[in-house]
Amino acid sequence: MSTNIVWHHTTITKEDRRKRNGHHSCVLWFTGLSGSGKSTVANAVSKKLFELGIQNYVLDGDNIRHGLNKDLGFSAKDRTENIRRIGEVAKLFVDSGQFVLTAFISPFAQDRELVRSLVENNEFIEIYVKCPLEECEKRDPKGLYKKARNGEIRDFTGIDSPYEEPVSPELTIETHLHSIEECVNKVIAYLRDRHFIKGES
Ligand SMILES: Nc1ncnc2c1ncn2[C@@H]1O[C@H](COP(=O)(O)OS(=O)(=O)O)[C@@H](OP(=O)(O)O)[C@H]1O
Ligand SMILES: Nc1ncnc2c1ncn2[C@@H]1O[C@H](COP(=O)(O)OP(=O)(O)O)[C@@H](O)[C@H]1O
C-alpha cells in the first residue's frame, strides 16, 4: 500500500511544540463500558487541564462516529479499525504538543495495545473507567441498554459483545464508588506525580 511514499519530517518538532506550550504531550486513553463515565470524566479532566493552561482536546466515540469513522459499525472488525484510526489521530495530537483525551469503549486489549505501540513509552496512559455492568445499565444515559435487551441493537458491548478488562492500566477509576470530582482529581494527581503537569498533588 505505502510503496513510493516517503515519510516527510516536519521542520518544527514535537519537542519544539512542547517547549512552546510549556508542558509534555500524551494520550489519556479512557476505556470502559458504555455508560461507565468515559465522556463525563474525560470532559471534566479536559476542563481542569484547560484551566491550568494545558492544550488539550477530547476525541469522543459518538462524535468521531458521526464524521471520520461514519463508515464503521460495531462488528469486531469495524471496532478494531475504529480504534486503529483513532490511535493514528491521537498520535498526531501528541506530535502537535497537546494532551489528547479519548473516550471510546475500545473493548479489545489487542487494539488498545496497538495504540500504545504507536506512541512512545511514556506517552500512553490507559485509564480503565471501571463500573459494573448492572450500574451502567441502571444509568443507561442514552437508553441503549434497554434497546439491546429488547433485541433492537445487536452486538452491544457487555450484552452480546465482549469487553476485555485492562490487565495493567496506568490508572483505574471506579465511577460507582467515587464521585466525578474524585475521579477527576485522581487523574490530575497521577499527571502531577509523573510530572506530566506541574504542581503538587
Ligand atoms: N453495539 C454497540 N455497542 C456499543 N456501543 C454502541 C453500540 N451501538 C451504538 N453504540 C454507541 O456507540 C458508542 C461506542 O462507540 P465506540 O467508538 O466507543 O465503540 S468501540 O470502541 O468501537 O467499541 C457508545 O457510546 P458510549 O456510551 O459513549 O460508550 C454507544 O452510545
Ligand atoms: N463518578 C462518576 N464518573 C462519571 N460519570 C458518573 C459518575 N457517577 C455518575 N455518573 C453518571 O454516569 C453517566 C456516564 O455517562 P457517560 O459519561 O456518557 O459514559 P460513557 O462515555 O462511558 O458512555 C453520566 O450520566 C454521569 O453523570
Q: What are phi and psi of 154, to 5 degrees?
A: -100, 160
Any known ligand binding at 199? no
CATH number at residue 182: 3.40.50.300
| Residue 61 placed within a domain | yes
Q: CA-CA distance, 53 to 47, in Å (whole number)?
A: 10
Q: Say yes or no to pLDDT of 3 above 80.
A: no
- The residue type of 17 is R
Any known ligand binding at 168? no
Of the bound ligands, which one is closest to the alpha carbon of residue 141? 2
Query: Do 80 and 111 meet the contact criterion of CB atoms below 8 Å apart?
Result: yes
Provide the whole-model pTM. 0.97
Structural domain including 155 reads: 14-193
Query: Do 49 and 41 meet the contact criterion of CB atoms below 8 Å apart?
Result: no
Question: How would residue 4 be classed by pLDDT, with cut points 50, 70 and 90?
Answer: confident
- Looking at the predicted complex, does its ipTM rise above 0.95? yes
Residue 9 is given by DSSP the state P
Please state the three-class secondary structure of 159-175 as a single string: CCECCCCCCCCCEEEEC
Is 28 strand, coil or helix?
Answer: strand
| Residue 132 placed within a domain | yes
Catalytic residue, candidates 96, 106, 179, 201 = 106
pLDDT of residue 119: 98
Nine-digit cell at 48?
Answer: 481542569
pLDDT of residue 136: 98
Q: Say yes or no to pLDDT of 2 above 80.
A: no
Minimum-distance ligand 2 atom for the alpha carbon of 36: 22
For 93-137, write each residue's pLDDT tens digit.
999 999 999 999 999 999 999 999 999 999 999 999 999 999 999
Is 106 one of the annotated active-site residues of the chain?
yes
For 73-90, write each residue's pLDDT tens digit.
999 999 999 999 999 999
Total domains, the chain: 1
Q: Which residues lie with the beta carbon below 6 Å from any ligand 2 atom? A: 32, 34-41, 103, 139, 141, 175, 178-180, 183
